Amino acid sequence: MAEVAGVQRSFIRAAMNAPFLERDEERALAVRWKDDRDEVALHRLASAHMRLVIALAARFRHYGLPMADLVQEGHIGLLEAAARFEPDREVRFSTYATWWIRASIQDFILRNWSIVRGGTSSAQKALFFNLRRLRARLTRNGDERVSDKVHQHIATTLGVSKADVATMDARLSGPDVSLNAPLLDDDSGATAERMDFIPDNAPLQDEVVGDGIDSERRTKWLRAALAVLSEREMRILHERRLSDDQATLESLGAVLGISKERVRQIENRAIEKLKRALLDRHPRPESVLV
């Protein structure tokens, strides 16, 4: 751990000691990278702006993620900015890169801050990163209780609903809780977990087995009933009712050399024959169709 910390300090020290680039030198390096894919130029351009990455990453330290990870994500944003930068627009690279670095760090925080995924829209991102600041400014005397009026003011300021503000406020107010965390502990030493109190909406095992047996029985009945159909009736019924890609009356008629109206008549006749065959074997239709 100490060795890792030492490497991080050395990296930050090297980034802070990297020389600044004059406008003309910066533009020349950006042109060399854009036109010639000169990796030496890219390295010098990125190294000169790593202090910007570190400064922006430091602003997000209070989200509880490792500083090294924030710097790494910011470096990815820096490289993305270098790939998209247009030197001919006469804008300093640091001005352009700031947006990409901040966006990369914020996306990383949103992905890793909680196991519960939040919204990814621009409004939801603004809510996530500005809620604490606005709440602290609007809440007087350090009172942590937030009124509906404060939530409404924040919602209006950021362009989101008050319900979204309340939900995000609740998420930011407490850490994730494991479903395996102990919840109850009685005198007998028995411990219950939160997982034990989550309702299971899946069917019971006897229902699953019963449905499987009924489905297998109905499949056998249907196969036996299909034996009453002729080869052409069976083909039309299969193409029209049993296939994932259902054929049209016109296309099926063209294949069989008959009109589409004739295909429709044969299809209806096959369905009626199939119904009669099933009812003859099983007078109670609900036992077959349910």
The predicted-structure confidence for 92-121, as pLDDT tens digits, reads as follows 999 999 999 999 998 898 888 765 555 556
**CATH class of domain segment(s) 1-113:** mainly alpha
The mean per-residue pLDDT over the stretch 201-207 comes to: 79
The span from the CA of 105 to the CA of 57, in Å, is 7
Q: Which residue ranges does the chain devote to CATH 1.20.120.1810?
A: 1-113
- As a whole number, the mean pLDDT across the chain is 80
The predicted-structure confidence for 122-143, as pLDDT tens digits, reads as follows 777 777 777 777 776 766 555 4
The percentage of residues in the chain with a pLDDT greater than 70, rounded to a whole number, is: 79
Q: Which residue ranges does the chain devote to CATH 1.10.10.10?
A: 205-289
Helix (H), strand (E), coil (C) string for 188-209:
CCCEEEHHHHCCCCCCCHHHHH
**What does the longest C-alpha to C-alpha distance in the chain come to?**
93
For the structural domain made of 205-289, what CATH number should be given?
1.10.10.10
* Closest to 80 in 3D by CA, of 106, 60, 100: 100
The predicted-structure confidence for 14-55, as pLDDT tens digits, reads as follows 777 788 899 999 999 999 999 999 999 999 999 999 999 999
**More reliable by pLDDT, 275 or 285:** 275
